[in-house]
Amino acid sequence: MVSNQSGSSIYWIGVLYIISGSTFTAAALLGWFISKKTVLNSGDKTQKKIAVYLFITVMILTIGAVIAIFIASIAYSLDIVNIDLADSMRGRIACLVDVVGSCSCCEPEPDNETCKESTECPEWAPKDVIQIIQTQLKQSGSLAALFAIYALFALRFGFDLKASVSKYEIDYV
């Protein structure tokens, strides 16, 4: 909702969501590879060990990203850090979140002279829009906490898997 083009300081939370989504996807693909890889010789065991180490590394990166999302979301939602909004961004956000049609001048009309001269949605004050953003950031923090819990359990699974793979013995008579 708040992009870097507007000069906002919270756009990077969205970037972190994309990074954490990508790392979760990479971890899922590594997990699939690890589950399908059979160990018949020492080369297979080495490949599986490398995949497990990559899985652990990816999960650590994921945990870092979701914890950063959590901290930033909570910091911005509790007025610890000030959210600066330009008037044009305030109007765009108000028009986006307005579901009951209380905003005026959201879509320019060629015959409406008042909309040409005024800003988008003058009915909403900056304080109203900031409260909505803070509520969304609280939801973002809750979602990041859930992702962090999931990632921690996946990391624990990775360490258990590492111990299990290191115990594989490949001795054929």
Alpha-carbon distance 106 to 119, whole Å?
9
Of the pLDDT bands very low, low, confident and very high (cuts 50, 70, 90), residue 146 is very high
Structure tokens at 141: 């923090």
From its phi and psi, is residue 81 left (phi > 0), alpha (psi between -120 and 50) or beta? beta
How do residues 36-48 score in pLDDT, each as one tens digit?
A: 988 888 888 899 9
Of the pLDDT bands very low, low, confident and very high (cuts 50, 70, 90), residue 6 is very low
| pLDDT in the model for residue 65 | 95
* Domain positions in the chain: 10-166
DSSP string, the chain: ---GGGT-S-THHHHHHHHHHHHHHHHHHHHHHHHH----SHHHHHHHHHHHHHHHHHHHHHHHHHHHHHHHHHHHHTTSS-----HHHHHHHHHHH--SS--SSSS--TT-HHHHHS-S-TTS-HHHHHHHHHHHHHHHHHHHHHHHHHHHHHHHHHHHHHHHHHT------
- What average pLDDT does range 100-104 have in this prediction? 78
The model's pTM is 0.77
Nearest to 15, CA basis, from 60, 63, 69, 61: 69
| pLDDT in the model for residue 167 | 85
